[in-house]
Structure 1
Amino acid sequence: MAARACTRKLYLLSVRSNLNCLGPERTLQEVSRRLFASLAAKWKVGKKDVLKIGRITDKESKEMFPLGLPHSFTKQIEVTKKADWLIRKQTNIICDSLDNASTTGVKPRHLLYGHTGCGMTTVLAQVIQHCFQTGWTIIHIANVFGWTHSQFETRPSPEDRDVIDQPAEATAWLNRLSVVNQHTIKQLKVSKAHFWSNQAQSSAGDNLVKVIELGLVRPRFSTDVIPVVLEEILKAENKLKVLVAIDGFNGLFNPTSIRNSEGNWVEPDQLSLVRIVKQLVTSELPTAVVGALSTRGMKRAPIRINAPPEVLLEEKGVEMMKDYDWMEVLPLSRQEFNQCVDLYVKNGWITKKIDFKIQEQLWYLTCGVPLELSKIMRYI
């Protein structure tokens, strides 16, 4: 009993920390009451709505997500050997807008935000899966903070000494881009000649795979190869459906932990990879973009874990994203919560029988936050 009480207390503290923006409430009851009252008007899932369960195969996982799926979901797969997830309402809205883009002629641009643990990364992953299965070309940046806080070697750009290249990060991303879009890239040709060095050149008409291989074999050219590859993909926009998917979107604007040769902190705009991505998300090309805000991996930013999106993006980011559709990923509605618990029971993530009383306690403890629900299930 003492151990169970200790566990409950730990999760109470965890939920309170994740919902600290709600105010200085002293009990979980007050936190829950305040949270549910504020979200009641926002939840749109009705009693008659049919919630869908999606599944991702091991082959799809390796092809779409070379760096892996969201951590909590990966843990469930390791234990249950089943990769099923509840398709969130935000996923359906975004996928519908992407599917309708061909008829409207306007490519949607969405920005996901919400409390930590509510599933922004999961929604983004579900959108990527939908696009992968429907033949989209996917330009996926798994976490911008992986670049802005990288510990790998940096070097000044040959074109501009104030700009920093990250050869290892550029090579790794170029490899992931080619893996996810291998079928598309094989069909594309280089539209003009490019001179990299006396020993490395590409001619107009060369297969794009050849240019990518150059960047992979010679990392010092990888940063220069990426814009060429992206340019050719975007030029084929009339033949391809292209999605730019970015997790840790606010990392494009938050402080880095990289220093230049003089020992000064490098601004995000001084990183070549960040510059390339910013051009993608702000260009006038009709490219679909879905970004997710995150605090996972954030450093050197005096920002609370559940700060509003305007704070996470900072002034420059807010101005740049003014034309985007800002979409909040809420905690689970009660219907979604019940469906999620049923899925956990069915897949064996929960081995104990869940009756109505236990389900009420889970709802009370987690406030419908998916990450908190996944965590607490480990102790049942």
Structure 2
Amino acid sequence: MAFNTLKVENFLRRVSAASIKKYATASEAVQIEEELPVHFRTAESNPANHTTQHQDRFYTVPNDAYKTLYTGGGLPKEFMKQVKTFNECCFLTRSSTVEVLSYLRNTNYNKPVNRYVLYGSPGSGKTISLAHILHYGWATQQILIHIPWAPNWFRHPKEVANSTTREGYVDLPIDAAAWLIHFKTQNAKILEQLKLTTDKEYTWSLRESTSRGAPLMELIDLGINRVRYASEIIIALTSELKQASIAGKCKMLVIIDGYNIFFTDRTRVFTDTKAMVLPDKVSLTIAAMELTKYDWCNGAVVVSVDQLAVGGQKESDLPRLLLGKVGFEHLDPFMPISVNHYTDIEFYNVMDYLKDRRWVRDCDEEALQELKLLSDKNGFKLRKLCAPL
């Protein structure tokens, strides 16, 4: 009979912990438990090396990667609080993430880009999976095009202005400038190494323009300093990066959370006349649609679709329903990746991690079974239930 080593380790861990609590003093229990093998962690902090060997275990994101990648968004608010409380950022290596990483490692980048769509019920871990994949892109020195939570553009726009270059379109100047800062933070180092330049000349006004051959960083800084041009500069920047990828000058990883918002029929973007603006008339959408086409190479596209992106109005988590006919046909063909609730091994490892951080205490097997039942092994629900423990 073949045994799952990790299941055996988990069982022995729980039995050992119970025995320690029963027979040892408090100080002895802490000392003995520290000496037990930490089965729920892996020492491999480079996601480029993550395989099924590291599956179901936590890995620690180095501080420099955390500050570079997630300062501008990309992690749930509750998770950010946990990071601050525990003084470390740890991701659980999920099977869905390992699957995507294996595809990215074995892709023929000379072919048109592959598109991957993560789907699953709210709270199952799609955002954290995208954050893990984002770390992989950074570790493998790819240019990152990361939109942390696309619905923010259409639900809480900070400013709406009529486009001066595209009739019938609106710009989101402040949101666009904020995204450029996020892009610059994530990619400043790799852009400095690659020394990419513009392939076209751009005229922004009678006095301001960007000459052909100018560094891309100059284009980015202009969008940050001159907010009114930020939306058009994002369109120009993504076009330049696509051409650079096609020419083999760089590799690019596009990651968008809540991608199905681009195909919704309801937004909170309004014109001066109080008319609602659909996503296809927001200039930032142009860049997102161009990036997720399959007409370029030396890159990959990983997006998530989520009921929460459209206010939980849909009855299914499947991409076909969430994307709608237009969105589905835009991405087709793509690889669907299901992000499920925790397995039993993942659930026990998560609880052992919380015990290790001294967040959860005095939680015996009966309490664990109750938490498993109440949360349905949903990551978000489990964090909520464990918050007051």
Which interval holds the TM-score relative to the shorter structure?
A: 0.7 to 0.9
Q: Tell me: CA distance 1:342–1:319, structure 2 relative to 1, closer, same or farther (3 Å).
A: same
The answer on 1:201 being equivalent to 2:209 is: yes
Instruction: Please give the per-residue CA displacement for 1:330-380, whole angstroms capped at 9, x wherever unaligned.
Output: 101111111111111112231x13322222222122111111111111232
1:190-215 C-alpha deviation (Å, 9 max, x unpaired): 12322222221222221111111111
Aligned to 2:238: 230
1:132 aligns with 2:113: no
Question: How far 1:235 sits from its partner (Å)?
Answer: 2.2
Percent of aligned pairs with the same amino acid? 25
Quick check: 1:76–1:349 contact (8 Å CA) kept in 2?
no
Aligned-residue offset at 1:106: 5.3
Higher RCO structure, 1 or 2 (CA under 8 Å, sep 6+)? 1
Pair 1:194–1:335, CA change in 2 (3 A):
same
| Superposition pairs of residues 131-210 of structure 1, within 5 angstroms | 131-186=137-192, 187-210=195-218
Q: Does residue 274 of the first structure (1) align with residue 285 of the second (2)?
A: yes
Number of aligned residues: 331
Structure 1 unmatched runs, 5+: 1-46
| Aligned-partner SS, 1:112 | strand
Q: Which residue number in structure 2 is paired with residue 289 of structure 1?
A: 301
Q: 2:101 and 2:72 mapped to 1: Cα distance?
A: 23
| 1:369 corresponds to 2:384 | no
Residue 303 of structure 1, aligned match among 314, 334, 337: 314
Query: Contact 2:260–2:309 at 8 Å: present in 1 too?
Result: no
Query: In the alignment, which residue of structure 1 is the partner of 2:24?
Result: none
User: Alpha-carbon deviation of 1:85?
Assistant: 2.2
Contact 2:157–2:175 under 8 Å retained in 1 = no
Amino acid at match of 2:70: F
Distance 1:198 1:49, change over 3 A: closer
Q: How far off is 1:285 after superposition?
A: 0.9
Match of 1:245, SS state, is strand
User: Match of 1:110, SS?
Assistant: strand
- Using the TM superposition, give the Cα deviation of residue 167 of structure 1 relative to its aligned residue in structure 2, in angstroms: 0.9
CA 1:183–1:192 in structure 2 vs 1: closer, same or farther (change >3 Å)? same
CA distance in 1, matches of 2:167, 2:109: 45
User: Does residue 246 in structure 1 map to residue 251 in structure 2?
Assistant: no
**Structure-2 change in CA distance of 1:308 and 1:107 (3 Å):** closer
Q: 1:50 to 1:165 in 2, by over 3 A?
A: closer
Cα deviation for residue 59 of structure 1 reads 2.5
Alignment equivalent of 2:129, drawn from 123, 128, 133 = 123
Gaps of 5+ in 2: 1-51
The alpha-carbon deviation at position 250 of structure 1 amounts to 0.8
Q: 1:104 to 1:213 in 2, by over 3 A?
A: closer
Question: Equivalents in 2 of 1:349, 1:321: separation in Å?
Answer: 42
Cα displacement (A) at 1:249: 0.7
* TM-align CA RMSD: 2.2
Q: Which amino acid in structure 2 is aligned with residue 61 of structure 1?
A: Y
2:33: which partner in 1?
A: none
**1:357 counterpart = 2:362:** no
Q: CA 1:104–1:83 in 2, change beyond 3 Å: closer, same or farther?
A: same
Secondary structure of the structure 2 residue equivalent to 1:282: coil
Task: Go from structure 1 to structure 2 and tell me whether the alpha carbon gap of 1:49 and 1:81 turns closer, same or farther (over 3 Å shift).
Answer: closer
Q: Indicate conservation of the 8 Å contact 2:198/2:214, yes or no.
A: yes
Residues 129-179 of structure 1: CA distance to partner in whole angstroms, max 9, x if unpaired?
A: 111112111100111111112332212212222111111111111111111
User: Are the equivalent residues in 1 in contact too, given 2:117–2:319 (CA < 8 A)?
Assistant: no
The answer for the alignment partner of 2:72 in structure 1 is 67
How far apart in 2 are the matches of 1:341 and 1:359? Answer: 8
CA distance in 2, matches of 1:52, 1:210: 42
Say whether 1:317 aligns with 2:322.
no
For residue 220 of structure 2, the aligned residue among 212, 219, 225 is 212
Indicate the residue corresponding to 2:31 in structure 1.
Answer: none
Instruction: Specify the SS of the correspondent of 2:302.
Output: strand
| 1:262 lines up with 2:267 in the alignment | no
Q: Does 1:109 align with 2:115?
A: yes
Partner of 2:182: helix, strand, or coil? helix
Measured against aligned partners, the alpha-carbon deviations of 1:256-286 in whole angstroms (never above 9, x if no partner) come to 1112233221111000001210111124112
CA contact (8 A) 2:142 2:250 kept: yes
- Partner SS, residue 292 of structure 2: helix
Deviates more, 1:341-350 or 1:130-139: 341-350
Rounded to whole Å, the distance in 1 between the matches of 2:208 and 2:328 is 41
